Amino acid sequence: MEGSRPCKNCGSRTLESDYDTGSLVCSSCGVVQDFENYQAQLGGINGPTGTYIRVGTAGSGTNYSYKETKIYKAQKLMEDLLFRLEFSPAMSSEVKAMVERITEGEYGQGDWLPIFIGACAYVVMRKNNDTVPITQVAAVVGCDVHELGRMVGRVVEFLGLKLPEFDVVDAYKRAIRTCPSFIDVSRDKVKTMLRQGVFLVQCLVKWFVTTGRRPLPVVAAVIVFVAKLNGIDMQIGDLANELHVAVSTCRLRYKELLERLAEVAQALPWGKDITVKNVMKNAPFVIQYMEMKSMSEQSPGWSVEDLEKLKISHECLSAIYSKYVDEISENQSIVESGVNSRRVREGGDKFHTSFEWWKGNSDMSKKLFLKQILDKDVGLDAMPPSFVNGLLACQKRRAKIEAAKLRIETIMNPWNVVLSDGGNLSLSKCVNVGKKRRKMQVDMDWEDFVIETLLLHKVNEEEIEKGYYNTLLDLHVFDSWGM
């Protein structure tokens, strides 16, 4: 009986609590009292939970524990990333099993989790010989490429795996098929571009342009070159953004490709006139020459004895020579009438000739093993660019060392040095820039001063040629001051 509260209907103090609903009811008139059924929930952490507390996912009164919630969120994140990477059900199951194995079923949470899932996904792709670049995975995950690469290394080391080599040819094929710029291009032209690109990519492999370099900039350079060759206007910056690679690196690889083709073109009759700037105009002839060279079998060299064994009359030799001259004149007339009159520029350099210059019969247009590529002859045997640059740098440092030795000898023993008319041992020279003013043009840089300092401290010249100046200064110059 509630004697302290009157009934809102009759005013009597005969309020009782209903057993079923918990509401206050007047025993005199039977009216249920509105807004009088609130009961305070008293207690600590383990006290009553209230009406809507169990709907949440935190606290001691939730339906799910912390571990279950963590696993649920991690699995949801993993499914989202695998869906965006377009993984098949089999590969998705392999990634999930790898994540569960490495984390021992605990999964995890935090900023490192999506990077870890992306690393496992990339490892699974490489195991299945899929050529999805790591830059694309990093773009989907939303992290830095170097950060994802470090995580991939940790995953590979933990599992004791040995990933297969990245196939640059497959990467080129994938980039051609998925490039948005080639959606409106006919299938026949795309097929031709595939074979042309595979040919050029494997030529770059033979010329060691891909050695020790990232493969995707090479792929981008070849795609842009092949696109221009087939009359498709494409900017290298747009393609670099699609492949998630640096634009400057792609341009450097494109320049190296043009330089190699210009070197090959020197074997043509008009090769002396072909440079990096105009090699694109002569690209069909250069590539056709490379294709013919790769199809020719390398025969052993002729000796004088072999020539003497041949019984060829003068009439036969004359007929062979006349046939050769006729073929040359016919080809020149085709080039002059066909190329010069039917070359049309529509948005880019389009090459339309009266004959189909691309045959695609060479084995270099198909995917070959590395040994087979190196055995092919494509008209040029180039050294690795890094090796050539290293030799040039050593030669430059050797010249600086000799000049520094001569300057030191001139200062220490001036009476023993005889200057020739062409000798130039001065640190600077005057350049006339006006009637009264003269500008001092310095011929030396910081490297010359460092080399002089090292020579004065009796450092071996072979060590100086390697170019590790900071290490040599620490060992022979600054360390000697503290002694």
Query: Of 281, 289, 299, nearest to 339 (Cα)?
Result: 281
**In this predicted model, what pLDDT tens digit does every residue of 147-187 receive, in sequence order?**
999 999 999 999 999 888 888 999 999 999 888 888 888 88
Q: What is the pLDDT of residue 45?
A: 52
In this prediction, residue 335 carries a pLDDT of 46
**Model pLDDT, residue 327:** 56
**pLDDT of 329 higher than 70:** no
Overall average pLDDT of the 133-137 stretch = 90
Residue 178 is predicted with a pLDDT of 87
pLDDT digits (tens, 9 = 90+) for 266-294: 998 888 999 999 999 999 999 989 988 88
- Report which of residues 88 and 50 the model is more confident about: 88
pLDDT value of position 428: 44
Query: What contacts 356, CB < 8 A, 6 or more positions away?
Result: none
Q: What is the pLDDT of residue 319?
A: 62
Residue 221 to residue 177: CA distance in whole angstroms: 16
| pLDDT of 97 higher than 60 | yes
Return the pLDDT at 445.
Answer: 83
Higher pLDDT, 39 or 124: 124
Q: What 3-state class would DSSP assign to 442?
A: strand
pLDDT of residue 339: 42
Give the residue among 171, 214, 208, 190 at the shortest CA–CA distance from 367: 171
pLDDT at 10 over 90: no
What pLDDT score does 18 carry? Answer: 77
- When pLDDT is cut at 50, 70 and 90, the band that residue 358 belongs to is confident
pLDDT of the residue at 312 = 55
Q: Buried (b) or exposed (e) across 20-58, using 16+ Cβ within 10 A?
A: eeeebbbeeeeeebeeeeeeeeeeeeeeeeeeeeeeeee
**Spatial CB neighbours of 186, under 8 Å, sequence gap ≥ 6:** none
CA distance 290 to 264: 8
Q: Which of the pair, 446 or 436, is modelled with greater confidence?
A: 446
Whether the per-residue pLDDT at 19 is higher than 60: the answer is yes
Q: Looking at residue 271, what is its pLDDT?
A: 87
- In the chain, where are the structural domains located? 1-37, 66-164, 174-296+336-375, 385-481
Residues near 297 by beta carbon (within 8 Å), at least 6 away in sequence:
none
pLDDT mean over 350-366:
67
Q: Which tokens sit at 286?
A: 């250069």
Q: Which pLDDT score, from 0 to 100, does residue 442 have? A: 54
Confidence of residue 133 (pLDDT cuts 50, 70, 90): confident
Question: Residues 308-328: pLDDT tens digits?
Answer: 555 555 556 566 656 655 655
- pLDDT tens profile 386-404: 888 889 999 999 999 999 9
Confidence band of 304 (pLDDT split at 50, 70, 90): very low
Share of the chain above pLDDT 70, in %: 74
What are the C-alpha distances in Å from 276 to residues 262, 263, 272, 380, 393?
6, 9, 11, 16, 23
Amino acid present at 125: M
Instruction: Give the CATH class of 66-164.
Output: mainly alpha
Instruction: Pick the more confident residue, 63 or 425.
Output: 63
Q: How many other C-beta atoms can be found within 10 angstroms of the C-beta atom of residue 409?
A: 13
Q: Taking a C-beta distance cutoff of 8 angstroms, is the pair 132, 161 a contact?
A: no
Residue 46: band (very low, low, confident or very high) from pLDDT cuts 50, 70, 90: low
Least confidently predicted of 11-20, 195-204, 452-461:
11-20
Phi/psi of residue 95, nearest 5 degrees:
-65, -45
The whole-model pTM stands at 0.66
Summary mean pLDDT of the chain: 79
Burial bucket for residue 455 (CB in 10 Å: 0-12, 13-18, 19+): middle
Q: What is the pLDDT of residue 91?
A: 93
CB 321 within 8 A of CB 329: no
Q: Which residue has the higher pLDDT, 300 or 387?
A: 387
